[in-house]
Amino acid sequence: MSGGGPALPGRSGAAALPSERNREALAVSSPIQPIIKDVGEIYSRLLDHRPVIQGEIRYFVKEFEDKRGLRELRVLENLKNTIFEANEHVLPKCEQAMHGALTETLKRLQAANNMIQRVQEKEHEARKLQEDKLLAREEKRVGHWEEFMKEQQNKQAEVDQEHRKAMEHLKEQYSEMEKELAKYVSF
């Protein structure tokens, strides 16, 4: 029983049954046709609620869509106002605040960078001074070492010289002793 308008009794979307066809044939040819028509209208009004329900459904959908459309329209209008306010008031304030803060931050960063450069220069100078001192100490130590080695070589040469002299003296003494001993042995 689905359809847009009032249905006649015995009429449906499906094929009519053979008994219904007989009734329709009798109803069409009989003098009680106006009565059947009136009964069908009474049936439609009292028992067939599809047209009323469909009208209610259409009304509900229309109201829902109208309210929804108005609600969405209000939401869109609020969004438009918020965006306009943000573009006109908030964005310039943010830009000014950012510009001021960034300028201040840039100045601080430059000052910090200059301080770091000075510290690095001082550290570099201190390292260079320390390296120069180390090189001077190393050169001094090498000089002392060379002087020490020369002194040791000189002392060694002196000791060697004294040793040679002592050896020569001992050789001479032993050779004289041998000569004297040879004199006494020949007797």
DSSP state of 186: -
**Domain, as residue range, for 58:** 35-68
Residue 49 lies in a domain: yes
Q: Which two tokens stand for residue 80?
A: 């438009």
Q: Read off the pLDDT of residues 128-182 as tens digits, 9 standing for 90 and up.
A: 999 999 999 999 999 999 999 999 999 999 999 999 999 999 899 888 888 888 8
Cα–Cα distance for residue pair 36/25, rounded to 1 Å: 13
Residue 45 lies in a domain: yes
pTM exceeds 0.75: no
113-144 in b/e form (b: 16+ CB < 10 A) is eeeeeeeeeeeeeeeeeeeeeeeeeeeeeeee
Residue 43 lies in a domain: yes
Residue 30 lies in a domain: no
Q: Find the angle CA(80)-CA(86)-CA(92) to the nearest 5 degrees.
A: 145
Residue 85 lies in a domain: no
Residue 18 lies in a domain: no
Q: Give SS3 for 178.
A: helix
Cα–Cα distance for residue pair 44/48, rounded to 1 Å: 5
Domain count for the chain: 1
Q: Read off the pLDDT of residues 53-62 as tens digits, 9 standing for 90 and up.
A: 887 888 887 8
